[in-house]
Structure 1
């Protein structure tokens, strides 16, 4: 009889385990790459709101030590002053502003590692600059930014990719695949899902809304979409109202009245009201609906306007601004002042905004 040979048997279970581990590792790597790419995309989208804002001269995402990590058109000569302010208030740094010769700088911490610094045009109102900055901060606060590397090239656009790789590495070291748990088979009970109730969308024209100077507009369901640069709603608003629509919506927070918004922007109430009526028809803001009695009374009330009045010392005013401010007596609108001085209305608004700190108040009247 021939001797029996011991033939080694294949361990199919070992092969299966190795294959499962390889697949799990591949899935893990894919998830890490997706997290890093999504973080980078969200960060670029948030910073794009500043880059394409015509009232923003430059910005910089800085480290908590005051080093510029990613910058766009931010003047290098302003970095030392910003860094000094960060070091001075580093124990209790909050949103703060810095007046410079180049414009208004607004800086605020994003988290424990990052600080956003934005340079706005000089004629922009302080409240509007702060509102614009807060809007971008809300987007940044929703992004899990990793801490900056110890060594990096300052103000380089390529640092966004560096941040993406750091996020991917942090995800790979912090996330561990859980050990496989025994699968318990339970009977599957088929439950027919209850369909959600059908909500009727009511489309109303702008004329259907009653917006007065005392009206306090609130943010509507389409508010976020209207401020998203790549949305159709934003493109429509940009085409119809240019940057004015964006600026007004930035001040809509449920606490400011129409008159306060118009006053802070040195714009007539009627222009703000027209914009808000359009926004209400698109569900961007919430304002009261018209009633027939209100419409009738509104027609007999006349038009409410704001007239600038200079109450300061003209000797402190330089150049051509004196001629414009001398006409600001509280009885003429900015359009009337522009016509008398032979300049554009936007020029009058800029001069008033530039010299508001010397003593200008707005007088309301009905014409």
Structure 2
């Protein structure tokens, strides 16, 4: 067994603190990874606080992980010691269902769904008829010094991407890239992005790199100028006159708001047969006015992270187009304050933890 140090929450009301635990050493098809950087996702906060009512404690968050391979199992062929690699939201899936066979591991149809990088199976055994195909009830994520992951779920970080910049692409990047690709966003399309946080600003950059004309909608006036610095148009959500002028003009819209919100003001901005996809919120939203949907045959849809192939694609795409998330580096010791700032909307884009700071804890 490998001794590991991380940061964990032990209750929904507790702060993240130093936590020591063990991981099994790499098996035949697994790699051991020294964690160098880990992004801070709003999902981490939802999970730590049990806001989705499925958290398993102790909870070691972190699913935007970049590090260096330190050991490989004897059957590993995809990675080698010294490689710079990434691990996103998933570390396993059943591999047998229709979705997995199609390469869509993020829609795994097994009783447990896919195995999350932290917090265990997406569907615990208690909700899956007592069956646990992964044999674990909890997993510990990237707020730690070491990960052990199956090689099939480990991504290659392109040389053209700084490792710390690559970290949020493993969740925020692929979560927005996947629907842009699925709904076939093309050069010249008019794309609307709702929300300008970690997901929203990444969606705007990706859509713009695809050649789309991008408009970003924000509820915060002081984000207008920041959006324009990204090279996109910006509209205040409360500006009814501006919204009215944009009626029936968008080929695709993406909502990245990470909490309950009203989609109705945006549905009417879609062209006939166009889609508004929700990626930011997993909880029930305000009811959609079906008159606005039906009269123009519009669609309101959802999308969940992205599959492994798409995650590698978006990493390569970002390297090719020289784009990436705007990040602010923090120490692991500042994670609780960082959570407060994310919840308060004080963070413009993405915090990334420099995991070298964890060594201070390990030395104690």
Structure with the largest fraction of helix: 1
Indicate the structure (1 or 2) with the bigger Cα radius of gyration.
Answer: 1
TM-score normalised to structure 1 length: 0.24
TM-score normalised to structure 2 length: 0.24
